[in-house]
């Protein structure tokens, strides 16, 4: 049996009762973010929260390497971007990283 449950979270909170229960009974989830959509990023998939239980077990070695590096870079970028909102004087390396 195949099911594609769709759950709308309140304020993006995936730790609420219904989202956590749906996540626990499915083989993964794709988390769409209103913030990413409003920033013009489409599809607005939050790769930090989206997961698959099959995951890397179904990927060839080259894909695992690329996906792992890409996910790390995206996470580091999101962290830098959040930090940059509070800092007015960023060093050149940080500015270059954000401009990439």
- Name beta bridge partners: 20: none
Q: Exactly one of 3, 10, 53, 62 is catalytic; which is it?
A: 53
Tokens read off for 45 = 């998939």
Annotated catalytic, 42?
no
**Residue in 71, 68, 76, 82 with CA at minimum distance from that of residue 97:** 76
* Residue 32 contacts residue 47 (beta carbons within 8 Å): no
The catalytic residues are: 53
């Amino acid at each position: 049996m195949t099911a594609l449950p769709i759950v709308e979270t309140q304020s993006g909170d995936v730790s609420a009762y219904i989202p956590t229960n749906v996540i626990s009974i499915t083989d993964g989830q794709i988390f769409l973010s209103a913030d990413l959509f409003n920033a013009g990023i489409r599809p607005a998939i939050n790769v930090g929260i989206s997961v698959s239980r099959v995951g890397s077990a179904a990927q060839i070695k080259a894909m695992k390497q690329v996906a792992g590096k890409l996910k790390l870079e995206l996470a580091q970028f999101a962290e830098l971007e959040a930090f940059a909102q509070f800092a007015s004087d960023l060093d050149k390396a940080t500015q270059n990283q954000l401009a990439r």
